[in-house]
Every structure is written in structure tokens, then in C-alpha cells.
Chain A
Amino acid sequence: MKTGKKTSLAATKTTLGPPGFHGPNKHWGPLAAVILLLGALLLQVFVPTVLAESSTDGKSGGARPWSVQVDRVDPGDVSLDPSFGAAIYESLLEELTKTEQFRHVFRSGDRNANDVPGLLILKTTVKKYTPGSETRRAVTTVSGATKLNVRVQLATRDGQIVQEHVVDGDVRFIGGNLRATHNLAHNVAAALKKSSLSEQAAVLPEKETGNMSK
């Protein structure tokens, strides 16, 4: 232990010693290391704060006038496996919560959503479904993809459609079949976030309050 201390002390002395005492290479090496360390420290301090600021900008500073209630998935004319319907619904709830675009994300039938102002209802209708096979994907790589194509509509309580998107969700190579539902929900959340809900929000609440007072 003592020897270790001595060597470490010696090392510090050499690094922090007067400049004229050592050769040019020995002098610049530790200095560069100190500069690098300082640089890393600065990065650690400033980058998270900048990121935090930008993320709060993304949340539009808490101005989220809309809440959303996710409806159960309508299989439409497609014979969709019940597990897929449930997985799409649950993944949508999860992904919409992650985006933080909405003040509240409610489940279908949730009584707490009844009195919430600015509530939008997300309706999902399956347009196309190709059941795949994980084994076929693993063996052939090119076949066995699970594909989903859905139409999502954001509507107000009185049925006025605010937004409509057609979104795909596939799993082509790695992963189980249900991964397609996760990918689909991720794409839906991204499509909703990309569109400018906040601009429409300025117009629609008036209409909604008008309808509610009727």
C-alpha cells in the first residue's frame, strides 16, 4: 500500500511539476489529459441541460389541451387474431403515453374520461392483416413477414374527425409476430405527433363547447 501511495505521489509530482523541469513531450501529455478531462466534464454538465430544454420544448411547455381515449380495435372485415387486437390496443396506450403529446391517455370505457375537457377518441380499424411466421422468417429471411395496415382516426366526442392516418406495422426479420403490433403502435404515435394537433386545438375547443352546451 505504501509503495503504491509513493508511486502515485511521484506521478502527481511529475505531472504537476514545473514546465522547464521536463522535456516537451512529458509536459504536454498531462496538460492534454487535463484539457480532455475538463472537456468531458463540460460535456457532461451542459449536454443534459440542453437536451432537457429541447425535450421540454417538444412537450410544448405543458400546453397540452387534448386528452385521448383509445377505443378498442375494430377488426373490420379482416379476420384478425384476438391477441393481435389486444396487443395493438395495449401498445397504442403505451406508445401514446410515451410521446407525452396528450395530457391524459384513457382506456376505452374509462369513466374518468367522461368529464375531461378536450377529449379526443382514437378509433383504429384494421384494413389489412397478413399473419406471418417467425420460423419461416428465421429459415428463409425473405418470407414469413407479419404485416398490419390500419386506419386511425382522431375524433371529437360528437364524431367530428380531427385527423386520419393510414399506418403500417410489419415484422420482417427478427422478432415474434406480436412485434408487428408494437411497431404499428409506434408508427401511429409518431404520425400523430408529427401532425399539428396544437394548431387545430385553438379552433376545435370552441366547437366542442358549443356542442356540449346544446
Chain B
Amino acid sequence: MNRNPILSSRTPMTSFQVGHGLAFLTVLLSLSVASIGQNQGEAQSPDPGSAIHVTEVLGFENAKHNATGELKLQYGVMQFQHDGSAAVQVSISSIQDIFVEEGDKQVGGTAMALGKTAAPYGGGRVVSLFAHKKYDFLTVEYLDNSGGFHGAIFQLKKGQGETFKKALVANGAHITPPIERTPTQNTLEVKDENR
């Protein structure tokens, strides 16, 4: 006799919680899919000479870490201009080497990370499966006026790295040809650890 009222009072509460959780997950998933879709729509190969939108991860002289801005080649210099601030540039002839690597990063920034942490039933992990995107990482090694070595890393949209590298080389940047390496014991250890 007493059980029925207790059950009836608990059931709506649980379904409400589940519904709440599902709604939260749906919002997170839709947000992540939307951001990926938006980024993929923007991904195009850059026209050499024109500015491309990049994130300066670190190492470019007088530029803040993780600053977004425009990177372009102009009159023998590589120029990075952070949104609304003065441009920073290096001479292309001072560039010693250029590397392009592919990398994978989670999208959405801090807000998404917090949302994923707060998501119930481990839903944040499911969102993480979809909320990532591939980027090109452009590493430019150059010398400053006093001969000091710099290593600047830029994050570009996938496919833009090689095009920009070619444009830099065409404008006089040095690159060293890749050296064929024989696999050593340490590299094999690294591969084993990845398994």
C-alpha cells in the first residue's frame, strides 16, 4: 500500500534527470558538430602571397602565445599581424628551415572542456570522440639580427601548411633536405610504447 506513492514520486524525478542529461549531451554534440562543420567549410588552400588566418602557438618574436592573426608574405618578409595590433615580421632570407606536421586537436576551447567535464554519464567522452579536428603545424626556424636562433610554430588549417611552405621556399627561404634515418633502438622503444 505504501510502496506505490513512493515509486510514483521517484519515477518522474529520475526521468527528469535522464531527460536533463540527454538534453545537455544533445546540446554539446550539436555545438561540437557545428564548430567542426564551420571549420571544415572554411578550410581551403591559401593563395600564395595572400594572407591566411593562423594561430601563432609560440616562438615568433614579439608575438603573444596562441595569438590568432593573419600570416602573409610581402616584399621579402614573412609578416604576422595579430588582430588589431602592430605587425611582426622576419626576413625570409633569415629562415633556416621549415617543417610541416599534421596534428589533431580538440575543438571548443575552455568552454567546451568545462561542458564535457560537467556532462553526466560520461557523456563528455562521447563528445570528445567527435569534437576534434586536424590541423597543420608549421615550424619556421630563423635567425634574428644578432644571429640568435628562433623556432616559431604556427597552427594552420589542414592543407595550408605545405602550400605556405612552398610559397616561402619560392621567395628565398632555406630548407635542409630531409635526412634518411635508420631506425635505432630508442625509436623502436618509442614505437613499442605507443602500442
Contacts and interface: CB of A to CB of B under 8 A. Distances in A.
Interface of A: 72, 76-79, 81-83, 85-87, 89-91, 106-112, 127-131, 133-135, 138-141, 174, 176-178
Contact of B194 (A107, A110, A111, A131): A131
A90 B144 contact: no
B36 to A, nearest CB: 13
Contacts of A107: 144, 148-150
Contacts of A131: 190, 194
A81 B151 CA distance: 13
A14 B129 CA distance: 64
B130 to A, nearest CB: 10
A90 B132 CA distance: 26
Nearest to A174: B113
B67 interface: no
Contact of B103 (A110, A141, A177): A177
Contact of B129 (A91, A130, A139, A177): A139
A72 B99 CA distance: 16
Contacts of B132: 134-135, 138
Given A83-B137, A139-B125, A130 B148 contact: no
Contacts of B189: 128
Contacts of A89: 149, 151
B59 A134 contact: no
A108 B141 CA distance: 12
A178 B101 CA distance: 13
Interface in B129-177: 129, 132, 137, 139, 141, 143-144, 146-153
Given A86-B153, A109-B149, A131-B190, 13 more contacts: A77-B184, A82-B99, A83-B103, A83-B137, A86-B152, A90-B58, A90-B59, A110-B146, A135-B106, A135-B128, A135-B129, A138-B128, A177-B103
B51 to A, nearest CB: 22
A211 B12 CA distance: 84
B116 to A, nearest CB: 7
18 contacts: A72-B149, A79-B181, A79-B187, A79-B190, A83-B137, A83-B153, A86-B59, A87-B58, A106-B148, A110-B146, A110-B148, A112-B146, A128-B190, A130-B193, A131-B194, A133-B104, A138-B116, A177-B103
B13 to A, nearest CB: 30
A134 to B, nearest CB: 5
B113 to A, nearest CB: 7
A104 to B, nearest CB: 12
B109 to A, nearest CB: 11
